[in-house]
Chain A
Amino acid sequence: MSTVAETTAKLTPEHDTRPGASVRSRLQDLLPKIVLAPSFAATIVFVYGFILWTIYLSFTNSKTFPSYDITGARAYQRLWRWTFESDPPSSWYTSITNMGIFGFLYILICLALGLFLAILLDQKIRGEGMLRPIYLYPMALSFIVTGVAWKWFLDPGLGLEQTLHQWGWTSFHFDWIKNKDFVIYTVVIAGVWQASGFIMAMFLAGLRGIDGEIMKAAQIDGATTFQLYRRIVIPLLRPVFLSAFIVLAHLAIKSYDLVVALTSGGPGGSAWLPSNFMYEFTFKRNEMAVGSASAVIMLMTLTAIIVPYLYSELREKPR
């Protein structure tokens, strides 16, 4: 404490030598704070404030409109009960199992495919400048466009199946989008198609950042290409994996529009994700408390996954 006081005391006279400079430098010190203040305040209110408000609402009996009387954890009790109703599946059970399937496959396939494409593109091939945007373009589309396009493509009466039947392959059968057990995998297909190009670009940037000397040294030591990637390149890409994982994880959690556009919820609501559940209960069914509770659970789940991962990754930096 005393050291801080001393340094300030020492610094102040220097600052005060010229009165004009003092005002300017103080302004310069303050400027970042002034500039950041509005967005900081907005974040505090609209993100953290509303998170608290949602938590509050989840303990009330809010229906159509918010109600402010705390009535206990009935919303959570209902969700808890629904969590174990697997036969016939409750909407909540369907939503969370779908989240597991979708989140796992979406992140895994996007990472694998993105890395694979990036490695292929990194072989100093001709026409890279043309190939790269082809893979990257899907990311420029909104989820709604992706959803509608894939909906038509996968529809047995309009798209792939119909076309192949017309070409003569009449035994071909692909109706996942109409099948309650497989509809969630069509969401994975459309999601992967959209995001994998972007992940490829991230990995490509990472690959370009690797020092060529290391590669050459490894080659001189007699490493095969596979060993080179397995032992050197992929470990060096670790920070890219972190960024890609975070981008993909939040895309997975918030993919509400993809499900709506692609499947309108699927047969019997079998394609719902927790975000669909939340919207449906809060705004369509006038069960705001249940909707809020589900949002809180989504947030807690996400925190439980992301925070330890960030912690373990970022802690190693000072080493």
Chain B
Amino acid sequence: MGAREVPSLTVTSERQSAPAMRLARSGFRDPERAERLLDSEVFAQVHAEMGDHLASALGSCADPDLGLMQLTRLIESGSDPDRRRWVREWAADPDALARLLDIMGLSVALGDFLIRHSEVRTVVIDSEGLTRTPTPEGMRTALLHSVGGDPHDEAPTATLAEDAAMDALRIRYRELLLGVAVRDVTGMASVDIVAEWLSDLADSALEAALAIARSANPHHAASTRLAIIGMGKCGARELNYISDVDVIFVAAAPEGVEESDAVTSATVLAKAVMRICSTATAEGGLWEVDAGLRPEGKQGALVRTLESHLAYYGRWAKTWEFQALLKARFSAGDRALGDAYVDAVSPLIWSAADRDGFVVEVQAMRRRVEENVPAALAEREIKLGPGGLRDIEFSVQLLQLVHGRSDVMLRRPATLSSLEALATWGYVARSDSSSLADAYRFLRTLEHRLQLRHLRRTHVLPEDEDELRVIARSLGFRSDPIAELMAEWRRHAREARRLHEKLFYRPLLQAVARLDAGEARLSLQAAEERMAALGYANPSGALAHLTALTTGVSRRATIQRTLLPVLLGWFADGPDPDAGLLGFRQVSDDLGATPWYLRLLRDESIVAERMAHILSSSRYATDLLLRAPASVQMLAADEELTPRSLESLTIEVDAIATRHDTPEAIVSAIRAMRRKELFRLAVGEILGTTGSADVGRGLTDVATASIDGALRAAWQSVAGDGVHHARIAVIAMGRFGGSELGFASDADVMFVYEVLPDADETEAGKQAFAVANELRALLMTASTDPALEIDADLRPEGKSGPLVRSLDSYQTYYARWSSPWEAQALLRARAVAGDPDLGARFIAMIDPLRYPIEGLAPDALREMRRVKARMESERLPRGADPRLHMKLGPGGLSDVEWVAQLLQLQHAHHIPDLQDTSTLSVLDAAVTHSLLSVQDAATLRSSWLLATSIRNAVMLARGRPSDMVPTDPREAMAVGFILGRGARAGTEMREEYLRVSRRARQVMERVFYGE
């Protein structure tokens, strides 16, 4: 079937007539239909009198198909004499027809309105009238007349019946709106002027609606004074074509009326005004009147007296309410009262920045503004999201609140004029202000065109390509409308997205750097106010750092001046902005003179961003970085952040040992290597590029290589070039043995030696002890590089036993004295350094002990359970909430590890897969061999992993270890930030830990205690 249809389609297009092709070229989507319409009787007279004018007018409108269709409907709607008169009008002034088509070929809604009320076409036709600027007074007079009210009356009252008045108001309002739209689309007025007119028109409509309300409620009208205060966009005189009109109602009692009666009457009128504006009649509705910005919002009284408003703002209002009051302006009703209201509230606005909690509230508001737009809309959304209209408006208002207190010049309602004022008085750089203003104008124009199309409230570009093309054409993009529009939008979006940098941070540098003598700049006091508002706890300290970083003409100062605006924003996003800035200053002081450092920061923006992230969140990493700032180079490339393999570390250790002569020099080089690797791992964890398990393995490899190197140095220190009496192996135990080290872990080890053939036994013992002791000293003495704690307490007899034993001595000990507890500890034993053959023999020696052939005898099992139970009640620190103790609490690390170790003791002899030192590998093997269900293993694993990563994050954030899930809000937030969690991380993280550990505990009780 399909095959037969294809050729017939081709034929149609081939048959396209020459006129149709011309029509297609001038923008028609359906040239055939256009041709048919133009050839119809309707247009005979137009063609006759106007020749080509019609075609060119159609070609220049945004949607020629729509324009032609609507024009056809308009002509058809008229009687014969009408038509003749209209065509004569158009013939007399072909521009008039072009304007008519500009409107009808863009706005479906206004086109329909023109067809329904053909008499209003004069607004479009009358070219002289269009040159007269619409005035507020003119609009007010026109709309009051439409309802039969007297504009000179102090309280105009409608004389038309309510229904008739509402219809009349709607028709007259749209007629005036049409006048604004014509001036807009034909380019006679800029977007800010259009927005002012739309606001004035809304004021007048409110006035007329109030006149209708008065006539319907004469008694109430007589017993109150009511002022309508414009808020939001209406108040700022930057209204859209279609948007809710935000208002606040204020009432006062006239002479001889009780105040409460006056408020009651005013409430009746206010409700009527809202209804009169929003009700849909045969002529549709105007818009919603939204009184939600009033005190107490929707729950509050609709109308209040001025005193009641002031009492509320004095006591209860939140920061955002003051921000809203920035826009308050008398709109309609009793002007004296309205002006009194505005005069009384404006001083209140400017104290908002002094309020407790201002910074916190502002940051919450900022987050809300930037909150992610759903991905599906992000590509087409012009209002929400970073750099959108709302972001620009909010940022400008924030600066007004912060600086407007001390500078009256900033106290303006509209976004564009505020931006202008901020630039004029030095709060924002002139060039930044003008590029943002351009972006804002562009976005607003786009929004206006979108809304004009159907007179609907929208701020999302249409998905439909045809619709998008119409919008693009209406903005004057003609050759490839969609592509041109998108390119232009992207260009502005690029500017707007760097909004915070430009508005908030760059001017701070101007304040301290004393450049551009000609331009006004932020005062130091204003800069401090701003720093505080952005979340810096110690603004004067921060400014001192800024000054130090940016003063002077050196290349370094110059580059830092360009970098810092961005960095300051990134610091402010972290949990501790002050620490971020301080850290940056310290790194820069150290590296500023090295040529690559600034180049790196300037050219690799990822380095700067990562550095800001780390410095403002992790004391541990900051500390490592400050010990050797050159590590910052690592941040440039992702592959640099991958943990290095043990092989490559060992090669480096080999090289170090060959290169240096003295033991001290070797160990010092090794410890420097370790510091660098710790930084690499810390950064990987903070940025989320390295997983928890990989961090554990990486830390273990670093410890292994360090001990390997230190052992060589220790030998050299003890024996020099002399005789060795023994060989030594280092056995890793505990988390070190399990390849699960954390940032806060010590390295648990045991030392084993063997007397060399022909050597003296006593000498050998002494030498081995000296080497082990030296190794610990070399790694643990204080130096600029962090120490690696070597903990040998798991050795036989613990602290009271000898530090080193011979293989035979271990064998004797384990054969005679060993407790089940020691066999369990040996499950994690792994030879990591020293003589490999000796290490292997040690492991072979302990295998029968830790993987007993008969499994776990009933009394041994009982003993193990009893020990665990006693540990649970005794080992926990006093006063700590056991459930939050990640190591020993229920469901914590120890619970999970004991489950794994129990399964090993029971089954590892027969199941070699279980012969593994890593907890997670043992759990996996247990699942493979059906000793544990998949679900149980997953539960244990997730608790173990969460505890491990919180413990690491605590260490990274504070630089000090803790086994408790943090409860202090600040600390919890910092830890949550490192774990990449959201703003309310603290409570949620604790809740999640309690949940997963509770589940793990249930599994543990079942598997370990056999319940």
The judgment on whether A and B are partners is no
